[in-house]
Structure 1
Amino acid sequence: MNIAASLLSLAEDTLGLHLPIRLRAWDGSAAGVPGAPVVVIRDKRALRHILWKPGELGVARAYVQGDLDVEGDLGEGLRAMWDAVREARASDELAGRPRIGPRQVARAVGLAVRVGAIGPRPAAPAAESALTGELHSRERDQAAISHHYDLSNDFYELILDPTMAYSSGFHAAPDMTLEEAQTAKLHLVCRKLGLQPGMKMVDIGSGWGSLTLFAAEHYGVHVTGVTLSVEQRDHVLARAAERGLSDRVDVSLRHFRDLAASGVRDGGIDAIASIEMGEHVGDAEYIVFVDSIHRYLKPGGRALIQQMSRSNGSPADHPGGGPFIETYIAPDMHMVPLATTIGRIAASGLEIRDVQAMREHYPQTVAGWAARLEAGWDTAVKLIGEEQARVWRLYLAGGSLAFEENRMGVDQILAVKPSPRGVSGMPASPLDWLT
């Protein structure tokens, strides 16, 4: 029996499309399109993962544990798969959608028996999140952030640029390096906020302090950052001390709902930024989030929210981006279409003044992170283990493709809190911050 041919036939029957791949099984058998991306099933355990958890998560588990792999460029392999799905759905609305009925189940079990792949449910990779407690409670939010961001500061220093910006850069000119694009993004955010020396600014979800430190150092503002990650807080405070910025930078380990405990007073803040943190707030809590921003800002104060979104056609049952992202990367993340976010910000009393789409910038940014990961692969494995390193390789390849194909987006939304008489203090033209 050609095991590879049997597996490929079953997969195509289940998915309802022709797969543009070459499949190679653990016994050396091969089938599929010559010259296409090669999917390698290295161990029978991969089949058990998929049998026990059909769909994206089962495949991801097999990949993360090294039982399934892709030879060559992983991103190109994923792109070929998505192209095939789109083409199939264009000709048949049911094609490209998993059909796991009695016939497919019986066929899969029968094949598994014949190749000796039947067995108990394999253990899930240790890299999976396992959150408990009430959704978006302070404790669960901290656990969700810790799962991803407390991985290792040394690892993030390996893949990020020297500013430690973990968000989309602004590739304002062709051939910008990762560091140049991130620096351009930081300047853009600060100019949009109209920062001037002596102003008070809050950075909600301050991460490793790329914006917090940059605004304090280059624009002379006093910045209060908040994060739920111990590793991030300690990193920022250490960098602030090294650069002589401790008198202008304060970072607290707090939830955004507890800003008052950091000395932030109602109506006392000139500018608030939240860079790719709003999508972690949660659907029900987002109103509290934007109402808090409105409350803390002075009249004429500005808010800049850079936030990821999902397209209107994305599955509503996976607002975090899909089973893999929601299980391994960002548990409890909740993305909504851009229009929904704008409506919620406006409903708080903030006035929307500018929206800048940056979707095409994200794949360029991710390409820089992926290149650094591959160049430092052996170091990454030593720092976080091979399973986590493989999680990141899959995450960067799949995430980049989601932005490239408009399944996900990212935007900078600039808003202002007008005075009671409607005075905004905003410049007449966006050229004020673009030049």
Structure 2
Amino acid sequence: MSPTRTAKSGAAQRLAALVETALGGPLPVRLRAWDGSEAGPPTGPVIVVRSRRALRRLLWQPGELGLAQAYVTGEVDVEGSLAEGLRTMWSAAREQRLHAPSPGVAELARAAGTALLLGAAGPRPPAPASQARLRGGLHSRARDRAAVRHHYDLSNAFYRLLLDETMAYSCGYWVSDDPSFGAVDAQRAKLELICRKLALVPGARLLDIGCGWGSLTLYAAERHQARVTAVTLAAEQAAHVREQVAARGLGDRVEVVCQDYRDISGGGYDAVSTVEMGEHVGDAEYPAFASALHRMVRPLGRVLVQQMARGTNAPGGGAFIEAYIAPDMHMRPVGETVGLLEDAGLEVRAVESMREHYVRTVEAWHRTLEERWDDVVALVGTETARVWRLYLVGGALAFEERRMGVDQILSVRPAPGGGSGMPSTPRDWYEGLERL
């Protein structure tokens, strides 16, 4: 690397001035530019702008999405801990009340002038190949299918590298701080908790909407002898679940259906589960989704929704997540989801926050990603691997800082006379989970 340049003509100093204007406050991290110049605090995380192309990308796409594009392509990097870099930025935003870049005409003109001086002006760079490209009406069947394929059909081999043996891609339940209690134990505890909340008994009919790779489906069929209908839109997931059903001899208890939830026929299920699928339904479509949950379950049957939430100031998934991870996803405050379920005729009986559990779950996935980095890159490429690094690090921080949450919402379809069939004090839900 060339010696650090401190002259005001250095690229880092010019970029720092732009960033401080956009943020409305001092630069919270150190900045190093492609010419070796540096600006910003002498200690802490270092943001490395590796090429002029990064500046051009941010000029065309200011804000979170442009930064994400520059990171996943390697045009921008973080020296040291990515988590610490993101944490520092968010902390500065809170403490100094900085605002996200939303430049006006004057700021854009200044940025364009700086880009011209630095030799970074030019046509808009193409979006990275890993960015989703969906067409059609929002939450049409075809578009939803494409959104699911973008994320969940990345390949079963990739998810086998990332996840534990349960293949559960949702928040675990960390009931022990013992170092020997790991991610797979947390997932089994979560699966058992769901089965207990749903009061599954041998022969009970469970509808698992958005079954993923079948963690709950297989657990309920094996451990509780339930008869399960597993529904997913992802062909890769359906193939995996069918393989596991055959391998475990569960063909008489499990049916796997690859279809849209809107096409599910029948009803009268004893229980319905939907684990972190409701975020993909869409805001306008959620009332109909909640009505479908009510319609599918019998009177006195139970419905469990495990779902991520977000504050009223940021109800969606965010520009990066919606562009790279879960296109068209929508999160809302948990209270609004409770209201929608109640409006559909369900009686909400228990809401349990699992926010801190998701911090530990996502951190476990991130550790696995880093430990198996070379294998992941060989399988999906460096760009997609960097997408997932940013996703997991940023996700854990969002749950840690309460910008996102996740909750289990247990409800019942009341009998015509109003009865719930629920025990007044369900003491057995949590007993012995750490020993599974």
TM-score (norm. length: structure 1):
0.95
Q: Matches of 2:110 and 2:420 in 1, distance apart?
A: 66
Structure-2 residue corresponding to 1:320: 316
Match of 2:110 among 89, 93, 107: 107
Match of 1:208 among 203, 210, 213: 213
User: Is the CA contact 1:201–1:269 (under 8 Å) kept in the aligned structure 2?
Assistant: yes
- How far the C-alpha of 1:246 sits from its partner, in A, is 1.6
User: Is the CA contact 2:141–2:260 (under 8 Å) kept in the aligned structure 1?
Assistant: yes
Structure-2 residue corresponding to 1:305: 305
- How far the C-alpha of 1:35 sits from its partner, in A, is 2.1
1:19-58, aligned counterparts within 5 Å? 19-58=27-66
Q: Matches of 1:211 and 1:277 in 2, distance apart?
A: 13
Structure-2 residue corresponding to 1:217: 222
- How far the C-alpha of 1:8 sits from its partner, in A, is 1.2
User: Is the CA contact 1:167–1:276 (under 8 Å) kept in the aligned structure 2?
Assistant: yes
1:62 aligns with 2:70: yes
Structure-2 residue corresponding to 1:372: 368
Q: Matches of 1:105 and 1:420 in 2, distance apart?
A: 62
The C-alpha deviation readout for 1:271-324, integer Å capped at 9, x for no partner, is 100000011111121111111111121111101000111113x23xxx332111
Whichever residue aligns with residue 287 of structure 1, its letter is P
- How far the C-alpha of 1:179 sits from its partner, in A, is 0.8
Q: Where do 4+ consecutive residues of structure 1 move more than 4 Å?
A: none
- How far the C-alpha of 1:99 sits from its partner, in A, is 5.0
Structure-1 residue corresponding to 2:243: 238
User: Is the CA contact 1:307–1:411 (under 8 Å) kept in the aligned structure 2?
Assistant: yes
**Runs of at least 5 residues in structure 2 that lack an aligned partner in the other structure:** 1-8, 432-436
**Runs of at least 5 residues in structure 1 that lack an aligned partner in the other structure:** 90-94
Q: Matches of 1:55 and 1:427 in 2, distance apart?
A: 50
The C-alpha deviation readout for 1:10-30, integer Å capped at 9, x for no partner, is 111111122221111111111
1:134 aligns with 2:143: no
1:409-420, aligned counterparts within 5 Å? 409-420=405-416
- How far the C-alpha of 1:224 sits from its partner, in A, is 0.4
Structure-2 residue corresponding to 1:151: 154
**Alpha-carbon RMSD:** 1.1
1:28-427, aligned counterparts within 5 Å? 28-89=36-97, 95-174=98-177, 175=179, 176-260=181-265, 265-266=266-267, 268-312=268-312, 314-315=313-314, 319-427=315-423
What SS class does the counterpart of residue 106 from structure 1 fall into?
Answer: helix
User: Is the CA contact 2:10–2:35 (under 8 Å) kept in the aligned structure 1?
Assistant: no
Structure-2 residue corresponding to 1:92: none
The C-alpha deviation readout for 1:64-108, integer Å capped at 9, x for no partner, is 11100001111111000000011112xxxxx43435123322221
- How far the C-alpha of 1:207 sits from its partner, in A, is 0.4
User: Is the CA contact 2:62–2:102 (under 8 Å) kept in the aligned structure 1?
Assistant: no
Whichever residue aligns with residue 376 of structure 2, its letter is A
The C-alpha deviation readout for 1:216-264, integer Å capped at 9, x for no partner, is 011100110111100000000001111111211111111111111xxxx
Q: Matches of 2:10 and 2:329 in 1, distance apart?
A: 42
What SS class does the counterpart of residue 108 from structure 1 fall into?
Answer: helix
User: Is the CA contact 2:62–2:101 (under 8 Å) kept in the aligned structure 1?
Assistant: no
Please identify, of 292-301 and 367-376, the stretch whose mean Cα deviation from structure 2 is larger. Answer: 292-301
Q: Matches of 1:110 and 1:334 in 2, distance apart?
A: 37
Please identify, of 60-69 and 131-140, the stretch whose mean Cα deviation from structure 2 is larger. Answer: 131-140
Structure-2 residue corresponding to 1:6: 14
Q: Matches of 2:112 and 2:420 in 1, distance apart?
A: 66
- How far the C-alpha of 1:56 sits from its partner, in A, is 0.8
What SS class does the counterpart of residue 360 from structure 1 fall into?
Answer: helix
Q: Matches of 1:389 and 1:348 in 2, distance apart?
A: 41
Q: Matches of 1:99 and 1:258 in 2, distance apart?
A: 42
How many corresponding residue pairs? 421
Q: Matches of 1:97 and 1:227 in 2, distance apart?
A: 37
What SS class does the counterpart of residue 119 from structure 1 fall into?
Answer: coil
Cα 1:99–1:346 shift into 2, 3 Å: closer
- How far the C-alpha of 1:55 sits from its partner, in A, is 0.9
Q: Matches of 2:77 and 2:349 in 1, distance apart?
A: 47
Whichever residue aligns with residue 128 of structure 1, its letter is Q
Whichever residue aligns with residue 47 of structure 1, its letter is L
Q: Matches of 1:367 and 1:376 in 2, distance apart?
A: 14
TM-score (norm. length: structure 2):
0.94
Whichever residue aligns with residue 225 of structure 1, its letter is A
